[in-house]
Chains A and B, each alone.
Chain A
Amino acid sequence: MSATLLQTPLHALHLELGAKMTPFAGYDLPVSYPSGVLAEHRHCRASAALFDVSHMGQVRLVGDEAAAALESLVPVDVLGLEPGKQRYAFFTNPSGGLLDDLMITRRAGDLLLVVNGACKQADIQHLQTHIGHRCTVQPLPDRALLALQGPKAAAALARLNGDVSKLVFMTAAAVTLAGVECDISRSGYTGEDGFEISVPAEHAVALAKALLALPEVKPAGLGARDTLRLEAGLCLYGHDIDATTTPVEAGLTWAIQKVRRAGGARHGRYPGAAAIDGQLATGPSRKRVGLVGLERVPVREGAVIVDAKGHRLGHVTSGTLAPTVNHPIAMAYLAANHALPNHEVYAEVRGKRQPMRVSPMPFTPHRYHRG
């Protein structure tokens, strides 16, 4: 089975570090290291954790028309994105569903996209089919991606290059780290301050080792990445959002700038614009919410949510016992009339109803460095 799985440039290092490996997005990736998911999660919240996210897709869009072309596929202001800035976005389908979510960075001569590993082939195809005639779509399979996350990530990375301290949340720059030219952004997927570091594959191991040698830094796997992002209220594509959920239902309308909405100068002209504008105007019939369990029982993906009379209200899309808040937490889609703060609902777990309360997200405060 492992013969059919792809490996990231850090694969041998993961094994050397004693990682437990798991198939994810077609890659053999570390789910945890010997210290375990809980310790890795806590280390990221307290210090700095290093994640290998090289399975994610990195794609350059090059050409004068690249930003305008990309706007035809995402409901996001790309033309207005200044050089050195980064923005969250998503590809939509004609019914307003989400094909993938991604990060866009405007660099001096191009746009750098980071997309989900499981979606990257489809995304590249989508880009080539729809905007390949307007700009060059260049996948970057020869680059690895590392994420250094946690309240001490900046202090740690500054030991390799003091310039990183100048970046604020959602900005990016080219910097030299351990003798290698890297593209870094101050962003991530844990709710903590931190960086994502794009590095040429042949230098990835040396850079990872240099980072792991820093006193603040320990490795963390996909298990901790999942519990961290869930506590931070961040969606996991394929679970909390997919082709059947719209950005309005998912509560991601903050990512649709005014200029792309009805009445804006560049409104519409992306797949599903009519459906999304319609939902923005009238409100969606269901909404993604956070839920906090009132008992200890973890509530996991797929659990049905009901009201006190047992009527079905929706279902859970992600859930775990949150290490930092020490309660069960979950994301779920609920009928809009039940998606109300502090509303009490019940999750069906092994035939029993577990009380939960609709809760604002994030479950743990974001601690981004906004300068």
Chain B
Amino acid sequence: MTTMYTPDHEWINIEDHEASTVGITHHAQDALGDVVFVDLPEVGRSFKKGEVAGVVESVKAAADLYMPVTGEVVEVNEALRADPSLANSDPLGNGWFFKVHISEVGMAEFDQLMDGPAYDKLLKSA
């Protein structure tokens, strides 16, 4: 599995270990409604798993964006900053939020996240 999911409805893909991509799930974007603003982390900043790394806001509400695993932010999605609606229209693709260089601790944390079937189960139980 290269994509894992968090209970906060974020996904992380580690195809590229140096720059693993983080975004929000379909469920998250649907619950938020029309995304109109994103506050993305500074490139070069490190966060521990669970720390607030950014904010995603719809017309209705603001939601925190949590770091799914410990690591350093190496890139943010400037296209998303310019057009936050990408988080609604393509949350698993062009609507990604940032990329992370995962730390050693972070790799162990990654393995503890939910895989696709486990995340689907979480959604069904909610």
Contacts and interface: CB of A to CB of B under 8 A. Distances in A.
Contacts, number: 39
Contacts of A31: 33, 60
Interface string A292-304: 0000111010000
B58 interface: yes
Nearest to A322: B59
Contacts of B57: 298, 321
Interface string A26-69: 00000110001111010000000000000000000000000000
B59 A350 contact: no
Contacts of A20: 33
A91 B76 CA distance: 51
B39 A223 contact: no
Interface residues of A, number: 19
In terms of DSSP, what is the predominant structure of the interface of chain A? Answer: mixed
A297 B88 CA distance: 18
A246 interface: no
A38 B34 contact: yes
Interface centre among B55, B58, B88 (most CB of A within 10 A): B58
B62 A298 contact: yes
A321 B39 contact: no
Contact of B39 (A38, A297, A300, A323): A297
B36 interface: yes
B34 A298 contact: no
B37 interface: yes
Contacts of A300: 62
A321 B55 contact: no
B55 A223 contact: no
Interface in B11-40: 33-34, 36-37, 39
Contacts of B58: 37
Contact of B33 (A37, A296, A298, A350): A37
A227 interface: yes
Nearest to A297: B37
A185 interface: no
A181 B39 CA distance: 51
Nearest to A34: B30
Nearest to A39: B34
B92 to A, nearest CB: 19
A223 B60 contact: yes
A227 B59 contact: yes
A226 B57 CA distance: 16
A320 interface: yes
Contacts of B37: 296-298, 321
Contacts of A37: 33-34, 58-60
Contacts of B39: 297, 350
Contacts of B88: 36
Given A36-B33, A38-B34, A298-B62, 15 more contacts: A20-B33, A31-B60, A37-B33, A37-B34, A37-B60, A38-B36, A39-B34, A227-B59, A296-B37, A300-B62, A321-B36, A321-B57, A323-B59, A350-B39, A350-B55
6 contacts: A36-B34, A37-B34, A37-B60, A38-B36, A39-B34, A321-B36
